[in-house]
Structure 1
């Protein structure tokens, strides 16, 4: 199993090789749209370099100055890569407009298309590997870098289509028009990465992560866990910090509550990738909880059990006991 560092190093090496190949294709064709693809490869290299440093820093153990670890640096790496992609897209659009106004005839179109097709296939496969591993370990950096490489691969498809149209129609302005469209697409992807960076720093709700946690709660649900509410999840690199309120029978002593909290930490955390740290506030049950409490032979039951409350993301995020559900 490859480590995040080794995957990023592989991405840097491959990006350098592909950049050289794309600039070779540009010099033999003089195509603006190929230059667009080659310029994005420079961003790939810079972005992967930032990604390597962020993964190195995120792997450092927590210390007094960083009690939650260094994982949030991955959001900075995604943000920097997003800004670079955005700026590259703007420059590409400017070059494309110039190429539309003053188009020029292209050369060696077939050879250029073959080179770009080869780089596109390699980029997509490498991007797929990074995205797959990024999802496996909850790495924002690997996901961002992998999606960027896949975006570059899709851009290469557009380049090939454009070169084919130019070859068939012998209409040079297509080169600039397609370059402009790809530039706009690149700007949009840069915006999405910057948006990811901002949402990560602001601890915006990640509903995919919440769904995983709630699925684990439901899969391991115990009668003693009468209610769960005020559920929140924060991501720090590959690690997650989960805090919530759990309602237990009010007559449980401190030792029994501790056992149940440890049980939640173990059973729920085992089914989620990466390290999960739980911060659980224990609440005593109230008589209003009896109708959905499944604890058998409860000595303090005030009302018969009537129905089970379905635990959903929306329900568990509420900051209150669920008397009326």
Structure 2
């Protein structure tokens, strides 16, 4: 099992366990804010399942129909996850707004607070793990899943604080108000994730990668490299593609041109922070 598959399996198993724990907390308390957290956990499980398939598909070798590989599916996975998060946030806002007008009693908040606090801590650990693995493996899916879990952590932390305040003040409607606020935060998180994935699907330029390439070329410049221009980047999951034009002396024969182009390719892949496939026009 690859590192990416192992990470997403861990995420999926943990998400299922935490989802069950949160629904237990909801059933013993009747708290809307806890239901908010539990509903987001359903999204975690669905998104994790889709992410597992997308990672499997993205690791498949190139074929005749997909000459650039299958890495783009990771952006689609992140898009689906973002939409699910956004929808969950909207549903939470409507449900909690109703209960804000028609409040209902809650109970056993101490037990619920402890359960949500523990699940939030576990989510933070797994989320940071996924983000680190995602950055190391250049996996958009893992990073999106990790950021989603961190969002869940912030949600849980806010809910814990809210539940403590409810116990101290005995203001029941505060539970629904907190859920509405958390719902808006979830919608915002879903929008950010969706926006980033759409940028990847539309080949939005990665300026960080461009700066890395420019820095490597400037620090290791050869005299025959008169000019490098039209530098463009694309990301296909963990794979990066760089397209550029290089101006070389007019008197170079094909062998010299090929040698210089090969040196640029080797230099970027050796000195750069990420492995990339280069298409260089001379």
TM superposition score category, shorter chain reference: over 0.9
Deviations 1:154-178 (A, max 9, x none): 0001100110110111101110111
Q: Is the 8 A contact 2:4 2:137 kept in 1?
A: no
1:249 corresponds to which residue? 249
2:47 corresponds to which residue? 47
Q: Aligned partners of 2:221 and 2:99: how far apart in 1?
A: 63
Structure 1 residues 50-61: aligned runs within 5 Å: 50-61=50-61
For residue 105 of structure 2, give the secondary structure of its aligned residue in structure 1.
coil
2:67 corresponds to which residue? 67
Q: Aligned partners of 1:2 and 1:128: how far apart in 2?
A: 19
Structure 1 residues 122-137: aligned runs within 5 Å: 122-137=122-137
Alignment coverage as a number of residue pairs: 282
Question: How far is 1:265 from its partner?
Answer: 0.7
Structure 1 residues 174-323: aligned runs within 5 Å: 174-282=174-282
Q: Aligned partners of 2:271 and 2:13: how far apart in 1?
A: 34
Question: How far is 1:211 from its partner?
Answer: 2.1
Q: Aligned partners of 1:88 and 1:94: how far apart in 2?
A: 10
Decide which moves more: 161-170 or 214-223.
214-223
1:106 corresponds to which residue? 106
> Is there any run of 5+ residues in structure 2 with no aligned partner, and where?
none
Q: Aligned partners of 2:217 and 2:64: how far apart in 1?
A: 32
Q: Is the 8 A contact 1:58 1:71 kept in 2?
A: yes
Deviations 1:160-207 (A, max 9, x none): 011011011110111011100111111111111211222112111121
Q: 1:116 to 1:92 in 2, by over 3 A?
A: same
Question: How far is 1:216 from its partner?
Answer: 2.3
For residue 164 of structure 1, give the secondary structure of its aligned residue in structure 2.
helix
Q: Aligned partners of 2:151 and 2:271: how far apart in 1?
A: 31
Structural RMSD (CA): 1.4
**Larger helix share, 1 or 2:** 2
In the superposition, the TM-score normalised over structure 1's length comes to 0.84
Higher relative contact order (CA 8 A, sep 6+): 2
1:118 corresponds to which residue? 118
For residue 251 of structure 2, give the secondary structure of its aligned residue in structure 1.
coil
> Is there any run of 5+ residues in structure 1 with no aligned partner, and where?
283-325
